[in-house]
């Protein structure tokens, strides 16, 4: 962890402390304490075994309200095109078909233990968590076991690359070429189902195929059914509509500036959402 920290920033903080000046750490503490004191706002600071901050999780009252109304389907996005070394968002789709961040995570790493603490924090501060229907995680580095433990009864989709590697390693050595084409077709029907009922129709057809002499494929699917591919095209189409979710944070060396940037982005997203609602209402 210490290798990932900006040593020059630590040195500047030490010098400022000797001079009696404010440091990024002290400014960050004031900012987080002020936010946590607000009604229905929650802040989590995660530290490693050396007591160094490795992640900060922020959720405002507005974000809680957005999750309560539109949290059936969530996406945990690494915000492509932004400062991906720091900030991720748990995003819900609103009634205007735009993404609204319901949780902001600033982390130095993507270790399973760190992300698990973030999701556990989200569960404890949001009682409607059990109403989630699906959770899309744009991260090919997370293991299937971790995703299943986090999501429990929820359907989870991950990036396409990891799943296709697993599928090829499993299916190619033991299935005939014609059967591989049939399996691929049935998988595609499941993955690109656009409604709840279409998914189960495709799943039923897949199960019938497996029962007719392809039990090994069914065993593999049962083991990994909660981790499936959303497809790169689908993922890119979702991301292209998130607009303000993709605002640049910039490469900030001070963590307090990064947190301030996240809070400003929250305000911008909420303001833009209210503007869209007002525009729709004025047309009615």
pLDDT (tens digit per residue) in 1-44: 444 444 555 666 666 666 665 666 777 788 888 888 888 889 98
Q: What pLDDT sits at residue 161?
A: 37
Confidence of residue 108 (pLDDT cuts 50, 70, 90): confident
Mean residue pLDDT across the chain: 68
- Classified as helix, coil or strand, 188 is helix
Give the distance, in angstroms, between the CA of residue 227 and the centroid of all CA atoms in the same chain.
14
Single out the residue of 191, 188, 192, 186 nearest to residue 212, CA to CA: 186
Query: What confidence score (pLDDT) does residue 233 get?
Result: 44
Directed axis angle between helix 160-171 and helix 215-224, to 10°? Answer: 150
The two three-digit tokens of residue 25, written as one number: 């750490």
For 77, the token pair is 């996005």
What share of the chain in percent tops pLDDT 90? 0
Taking residues 148-174, what's their average pLDDT? 46
Percent of the chain surpassing pLDDT 70: 55
Q: What does each C-alpha distance from 41 to 37, 59, 109 come to in angstroms?
A: 7, 6, 24
* Cα 90 to Cα 119: distance, rounded to the nearest angstrom: 10
Which parts of the chain are beta strand (E)?
Answer: 42-47, 53-59, 73-77, 87-93, 99-107, 134-137, 155-158, 227-229
185 φ/ψ angles, rounded to the nearest 5 degrees: -65, -45
Whether 133 shows a pLDDT value over 60: the answer reads yes
| Stretch 74-89: mean pLDDT | 58
Tell me which residue of 80, 261, 227, 246 sits closest to 151, measured CA to CA: 227
Residue 262 has pLDDT above 60, yes or no: yes
Q: Single out the residue of 73, 77, 65 nearest to residue 93, CA to CA.
A: 73
Nearest Cα to Cα of residue 149 among 213, 227, 265:
227
Average pLDDT of the residues in 67-90: 66
* pLDDT (0 to 100) of residue 21: 59
Dist. CA 112–CA 114, nearest whole Å? 5
105 φ, ψ (degrees, to nearest 5): -120, 125
pTM of full prediction above 0.85? no
Please report which confidence band the pLDDT of residue 101 belongs to, taking 50, 70 and 90 as the band edges: confident
Cα separation, 267 vs 254, whole angstroms: 21
> Quick one: pLDDT at residue 76?
76
Structure tokens at 19: 């001079």
What pLDDT score does 182 carry? 82
* Residue 64: strand pairing partners: none
d(CA 60, CA 72): 19
pLDDT tens figures, 199-255: 888 888 888 888 887 777 777 777 766 554 444 444 444 444 433 333 333 344 466
Per residue in 242-257, is it b (16+ CB within 10 Å) or e — as a string?
bebbbbebeeeebbbe
pLDDT class of 116 with cuts at 50, 70, 90 = confident
Q: What is the mean pLDDT of residues 99-125?
A: 82
């Amino acid at each position: 962890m210490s290798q990932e920290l900006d040593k020059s920033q630590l040195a500047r903080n030490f010098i400022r402390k000797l001079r009696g000046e404010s440091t990024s750490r002290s400014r960050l503490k004031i900012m987080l304490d002020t936010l946590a004191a607000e009604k229905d706002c929650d802040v989590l600071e995660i530290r490693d075994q050396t007591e160094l901050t490795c992640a900060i999780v922020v959720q405002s009252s507005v974000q809680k309200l957005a999750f309560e109304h539109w949290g059936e389907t969530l996406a945990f996005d690494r915000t492509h095109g932004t400062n991906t070394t720091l900030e991720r968002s748990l995003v819900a789709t609103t009634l205007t078909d735009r993404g609204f961040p319901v949780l902001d995570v600033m982390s130095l790493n993507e270790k399973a233990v760190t992300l698990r603490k973030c999701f556990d924090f989200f569960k404890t501060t949001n009682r409607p968590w059990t109403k989630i229907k699906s959770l899309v995680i744009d991260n090919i580095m997370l293991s299937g076991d971790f995703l299943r433990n986090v999501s429990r009864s929820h359907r989870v989709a991950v990036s396409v690359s990891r799943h296709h590697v697993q599928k090829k390693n499993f299916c190619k050595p033991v299935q005939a070429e014609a059967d591989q084409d049939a399996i691929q077709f049935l998988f595609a029907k499941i993955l690109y189902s656009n409604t709840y009922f279409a998914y189960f129709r495709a799943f039923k057809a897949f199960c019938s195929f497996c029962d007719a002499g392809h039990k090994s494929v069914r065993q593999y699917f049962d083991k990994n059914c909660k981790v499936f591919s959303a497809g790169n095209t689908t993922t890119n189409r979702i991301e292209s509509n998130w607009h303000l979710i993709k605002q640049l944070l910039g490469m900030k060396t001070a963590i307090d500036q990064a947190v301030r940037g996240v809070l400003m982005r929250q305000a911008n997203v909420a303001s833009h959402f209210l503007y869209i609602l007002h525009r729709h209402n004025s047309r009615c």
